[in-house]
Amino acid sequence: MTADELDELDSYADDLLDYRADLIAENETALGAEEGERIAWGQMLEDGVISPTVQKMWVAQDGACPVCEELDGQIVALDELFQAEDDEYDAPPEPHVYCRCSTTLVNEGEE
Ligand SMILES: [Zn+2]
C-alpha cells in the first residue's frame, strides 16, 4: 500500500467517525426532546392542566419507515406504549436513528 492510499484510507475512516458522531448526537437530541415532553406532560396532568382523558398520538413524517408508518395516527394513554406488529415503543425516535416522527396530545373525549 502506498502512502497516498494510506492517507485516503485514513480520511475515509475519519469521515465515518464524523458521520457516526453526528448520528449519535442527533439521535440523543431527539431522545432528550421526547423525554422532556413526557416529563412536561406528566407534570401538566398532575397539575390538572390537562385532563386525564388526554391521550398521545404518534405522528409519522412523510417518508417514514414502515414501522413508523404503521404507528402513524395510533392513539394510546399517556402512560402506555405504542403497539407495532413486532414491538412496542414509548416514543420516537425509538424505532430507529434519524426517526423524524413526533407525538402529540389529543383529547377525543372533548368536543
Ligand atoms: Zn419514525
Judge whether 79 lies within some domain.
yes
C-alpha distance across the termini of the chain, in Å: 71
Which pLDDT score, from 0 to 100, does residue 24 have? 80
pTM of the model: 0.70
Q: Which three cell numbers, joined as nine digits, stand for 85?
A: 406488529
Query: Ligand 1 centroid to 95 CA: how many Å?
Result: 6
Say which residue the cell 399517556 belongs to: 78
Q: State in Å: Cα 25 to ligand 1 middle.
A: 17
pLDDT at 97: 79
Q: How confident is the model at residue 69 (pLDDT cuts 50, 70, 90)?
A: very high
User: 85 C-alpha to center of ligand 1: Å?
Assistant: 15
Q: How far apart are CA 56 and CA 90, in angstroms?
A: 11
What domain range includes position 27? 3-106
pLDDT tens, position by position, 98-110: 788 999 999 876 5
Q: Most distant CA pair in the chain: distance in Å?
A: 72
Residue 111 domain flag: no
For 7-23, what is the mean pLDDT?
84
Asked, for residue 11, whether it belongs to a domain, the answer is: yes
